Structure 1
Amino acid sequence: MSRTYVVTGAASGIGKATSELLTGQGHRVIGVDLKGSDVNVDLTTDDGRTAMVDQVTELSGGVVDAVVAVAGLAAPIAATAGVNYYGAIATLEGLRPLLLKSDAPRAVTVASMASLHPHDDALLAAFTDGTEADAIARAQELQAAGPDVGYAIYSTSKQALARWVRRTAITPEWAGAGIPLNAIAPAVVLTPMTRDLVATAEGRAQLTAQVPMPLNGPMEPIVAARLLAWLASEENSHLAGQVVFVDGGYDAVVRGDKTW
């Protein structure tokens, strides 16, 4: 049966691969991105988030079967905090009323293996207990300290998002309303930048040392897309609050059996 999906970050990377996969399966996809999509908005802004909800509501006729919130940044800049955490949550919460009208609603977002990396305590506290203005102000401080320090914006935003999924998925508004909410946590995805890194033996060795992925190494975007598509499908009836690492074994290398 054809379903209606909303995919943010649909113009490139994992979002594009997911959109193409779902379309190829016969589903309708409403893509959201900065440009080149069905809905072109900036999810770092309140106006962009509001416009996204309004336009998706109009295009979908008020009913959405699944939301796949992929849009994000990995740059050591304050905007990364805005889109990775607040943009993702605004997408999921803003479109939840449309999901409630589906017979089989599903929601999934994208965290990262970087959620296991060192984070900034002040930024994490702002995400979880403060305001968006607090978080952006702290992210701007990290950005000003240079890219090595600024990387913590990305890792912290992804950890905060994973925690939000864990807390939120089991609430009456989500699990109680029959909406499975989950996240995936990819490791290195092959993009133009990472393809250049793995083009040489030296680059591959350096990347492997930084992010060990013993099973098949860095992955194509379609690998993450397939997992997102299943989590957003009718087949997923009972996964709730899971952060599923699709990472070639990186999580197991880093954490061992700590999950137990």
Structure 2
Amino acid sequence: MGGRVAIVTGGASGIGRAVAESLAGAGHRVVVADLPGEAGPAVAEAIGGLFVAADLSQREGCRALVDTARAQLGGVDILVNNAGFQHINPIADFPEDVWEKMIAVMLTAPFLLTKYVWPDMQGRGWGRIVNIGSIHSLRASPFKAGYIAAKHGLLGLTRTAALEGGSCGITVNLIAPAYVRTPLVEKQIADQARTRGISPEDVVEKVMLEPAAIKRLIEPEEVADMVRFLCADEAGSMSGSVFEMALGWTAR
């Protein structure tokens, strides 16, 4: 199955970087999509991939990303919708512009990118779309209205696309990890400490890991391993599914 073309959004760091490295290791040609900066090109160069600077909060950015991948690599076989960010605030104080951007990046962009790569996958009779959701695709927490709304919506998009793609060889799945050791989570620890008025250590122990049976953060490479499997031919019977990496959160 080597040599297929994969787009990984938010590929410059964290889960996205680990996914890009893993897919490249499987022999795929990887498009690392992220905001302009030094990190994205460095990741792409290290894995022999292509970096595309893309503002996924804008429709034009989503369209240009797919057009560039198609023009330079001949089409898209795999799409990993990973890009996202956090904002911690009570609903009453949640900035409206931040809400709009969160929905744009984490829900509208995955829809648009799915729409834009669909003809390539449909024409080839094969495609893999993996949406990086969250345990917050399944459960809610306070002070994260924008993030949780987007991640819940992403699950609905996943299931709908899976139903439409089944007849033409396109599988669509969602991975729902608990807290992963990424720069995003490190920032969230500080934000939650500020919002809740507790120490960063208490955020990790009493907020992030309190509901979990396994008391640790997930490593990005663990998520990347799951993505790599779901993009393999061997995972062709799996679609419309949620793959929990929940550390036991949902066992209660």
TM-score class, shorter-chain normalisation, is 0.7 to 0.9
What amino acid maps onto 2:121 in structure 1?
Answer: L
Aligned to 2:234: 235
Aligned mates of 1:116, 1:180 — CA distance in 2: 20
Task: Report the secondary structure of 2:170's partner residue.
Answer: coil
Q: Deviations over 1:209-253 (max 9, x none)?
A: 55x221352111111111111111111111111121112111223
Report deviation, 1:167: 2.2
Deviates more, 1:98-107 or 1:219-228: 98-107
Aligned mates of 1:72, 1:237 — CA distance in 2: 27
1:75 aligns with 2:97: no
Answer whether contact 1:67 1:232 (CA < 8 A) is retained: no
* Equivalence map 1:11-22=2 (5 Å): 11-22=12-23
Which of these residues, 122, 131, 140, is aligned with residue 100 of structure 1?
122
Aligned mates of 1:170, 1:194 — CA distance in 2: 32
Aligned to 1:177: 168
Task: Report the secondary structure of 1:39's partner residue.
Answer: strand
Answer whether contact 1:68 1:232 (CA < 8 A) is retained: no
Q: Alpha carbon RMSD of aligned pairs, Å? A: 2.4
Aligned to 1:51: 64
What amino acid maps onto 1:58 in structure 2?
Answer: A
* Equivalence map 1:194-233=2 (5 Å): 194=185, 202-208=202-208, 210=210, 212-215=211-214, 217-233=216-232
Deviates more, 1:81-90 or 1:28-37: 28-37
Q: Deviations over 1:191-214 (max 9, x none)?
A: 24645859986454223455x221
Contiguous gaps of at least 5 residues in structure 2: 42-50, 89-97, 191-198
Task: Report the secondary structure of 1:59's partner residue.
Answer: helix
Identity %: 30
Answer whether contact 2:122 2:168 (CA < 8 A) is retained: yes
Report deviation, 1:27: 2.1
Question: Alignment length, in residue pairs?
Answer: 220
Contiguous gaps of at least 5 residues in structure 1: 120-147, 254-260
1:64/1:248 Cα in 2 relative to 1: closer, same or farther (>3 Å)? Answer: same
Task: Report the secondary structure of 1:100's partner residue.
Answer: helix
Answer whether contact 2:180 2:217 (CA < 8 A) is retained: yes
Q: What's the TM-score once normalised by structure 2's chain length?
A: 0.79
Q: What's the TM-score once normalised by structure 1's chain length?
A: 0.76
Report deviation, 1:103: 5.5
Aligned to 1:166: 159
Deviates more, 1:84-93 or 1:187-196: 187-196
